Structure 1
């Protein structure tokens, strides 16, 4: 996972970013990576054509760069190499994608926050853009500390519902194993299946719904066991749960004291994305722990 030895933290002035920088710096130290604090900003008042406009923009970006120094100092406490990078752009997501084309990275880290009162994580438009389009793993960091050892849960779907690519579970588990090796964490697999839609249509007098339900459970259990064995993950670390993923996944993470969940994302466009991404987005909205998005 850390082939380029480069981690980028995307600064967001709407978020408290210190905890994200702290976690990124820990990962940078453990992996021997360098760290870049990346920010962009834009002022419409500096777009007019004027002989001194360029100088004013430079001063504007210099001020932005100086504002990143307190965050850089957090990372320097871990004795890692830290660079601050600022660019002129309206959209931080687009600016980061452009930067990545010339500066390959292994991981992008961004702060996000959760309010337990209404059980919802608040993702900005930039968060969603990165979830859908960031070409490298994306860590959305919450305001929490990692325990020692960490508990990491990889949310997998070995039955491959919703036309999910065959290789996505492999990518999810690869990220999980890399993080386990780096942090000495406990790595769990979680597969949640919901037989309700199928059972509704099979609810007929001539069909034994109990037997059908058990057949479905065995199918998913076997698929999860086969996946765990293929990745050399012990049986006690592979968990099968039944119910709506929107409810079950967040509850499992909370009940099992999870520090980080790894989930897969497939970039989709247009109507297809809305039809196939709705459930995943509702799950993300309710997760209270750090989320690592594998592509």
Structure 2
């Protein structure tokens, strides 16, 4: 996961991102990676052919760099190599993807903000663009600090009920095991299944719904344990929960005070995209913990 020894933090000048920089700096220190603080800026009033427009744009970007350098100085206290980069671009996501094409990295980190009042995380257009198109793992952080003893939860679907690629669980778990080693963390697997659609379809007098429900549970349990054991994970750390993933996944992460949940998104050719079925948008925006999107 840290082949290039390079982590990038995408920063929005209008948002509080100190926690994201702190977490990225910790990962850079532990992985012996360099850290780049990256931002883009744009002002339509300066995007003209006026003779002084170029100087004005340079001044604008210089102010962005000054802000990045303040954050960089804090990160450098961890004795890591930190650089800053500001580019002129109206779209931060596009700017980040363009930068990655010429500057290989192992991880992109970006701050997101959960609103406790309405129990929602607001994902920007940039966030969704990166979730779908970022070619490397993406860590979407919240303001909450990690615990001293970090717990990682990998959301998997070993029964493949959600039209995702067969190899996606492998990517998720590989990402999780590498982060576990790096952070000296605990890693568990979480599989949430919802038997409701099938049970409704089979709701006939001649069918014992209790027996069918138990058969479904056993099928999912066995698939989960098999997946865990194939990856060297103790079956005690393979958690099976029943219910709607939209409700159960966020509630589980909150109840057990998880630090990072690992989910999957794989892109091919920019046209075909898969999001792990139960990590759809309506799940992501309810999650209160950091989200690592495995690629």
Q: TM bucket by the smaller chain?
A: over 0.9
> 1:271-290, CA deviations, whole angstroms, 9 ceiling, x for partnerless residues?
99799868611111111000
Compute the displacement of 1:43 (Å).
Answer: 1.2
Compute the displacement of 1:55 (Å).
Answer: 2.0
> 1:108-136, CA deviations, whole angstroms, 9 ceiling, x for partnerless residues?
00001112222111111111111111111
Please state if 1:126 is matched with 2:115: no
TM-score (norm 2): 0.95
1:136 maps to what in 2? 136
Compute the displacement of 1:163 (Å).
Answer: 1.5
1:57 maps to what in 2? 57
1:110 maps to what in 2? 110
Counterpart Cα distance in 2 of 1:120 and 1:269? 31
Secondary structure, in 3 states, of the residue corresponding to 1:7? strand
2:10 maps to what in 1? 10
Cα distance change of structure 1 residues 97 and 275 upon mapping to structure 2, 3 Å threshold: closer
Contact 2:154-2:172 at 8 Å conserved across structures: yes
1:265 maps to what in 2? 265
Contact 2:262-2:293 at 8 Å conserved across structures: yes
Cα distance change of structure 1 residues 277 and 228 upon mapping to structure 2, 3 Å threshold: closer
1:244 maps to what in 2? 244
What aligned pairs does 1:179-194 form with structure 2 within 5 A after superposition? 179-194=179-194
Secondary structure, in 3 states, of the residue corresponding to 1:20? helix
Cα distance change of structure 1 residues 274 and 223 upon mapping to structure 2, 3 Å threshold: closer
Counterpart Cα distance in 2 of 1:178 and 1:220? 26
Please state if 1:98 is matched with 2:98: yes
Secondary structure, in 3 states, of the residue corresponding to 1:286? coil
1:228 maps to what in 2? 228
Counterpart Cα distance in 1 of 2:221 and 2:80? 43
Contact 1:15-1:113 at 8 Å conserved across structures: no
Counterpart Cα distance in 2 of 1:272 and 1:213? 34
Cα distance change of structure 1 residues 270 and 85 upon mapping to structure 2, 3 Å threshold: closer
1:158 maps to what in 2? 158
Secondary structure, in 3 states, of the residue corresponding to 2:29? helix
> 1:19-40, CA deviations, whole angstroms, 9 ceiling, x for partnerless residues?
0000000000000000000000
Cα distance change of structure 1 residues 30 and 275 upon mapping to structure 2, 3 Å threshold: closer
Contact 2:261-2:291 at 8 Å conserved across structures: yes
Cα distance change of structure 1 residues 273 and 135 upon mapping to structure 2, 3 Å threshold: closer
Cα distance change of structure 1 residues 273 and 115 upon mapping to structure 2, 3 Å threshold: same
Secondary structure, in 3 states, of the residue corresponding to 2:117? helix
Cα RMSD (Å): 2.0
Q: How many residues align?
A: 295
Counterpart Cα distance in 2 of 1:121 and 1:50? 41
Query: 5+ residue gaps in structure 1?
Result: none
Compute the displacement of 1:162 (Å).
Answer: 2.2
1:38 maps to what in 2? 38
TM-score (norm 1): 0.95
Contact 1:150-1:259 at 8 Å conserved across structures: yes
Secondary structure, in 3 states, of the residue corresponding to 1:68? helix
Counterpart Cα distance in 1 of 2:273 and 2:76? 40
Counterpart Cα distance in 1 of 2:36 and 2:169? 29
State which drifts further: 52-61 or 225-234.
Answer: 52-61
Secondary structure, in 3 states, of the residue corresponding to 2:35? strand
> 1:49-106, CA deviations, whole angstroms, 9 ceiling, x for partnerless residues?
1223222221221121112111111211111100000100000000000000000000
1:74 maps to what in 2? 74
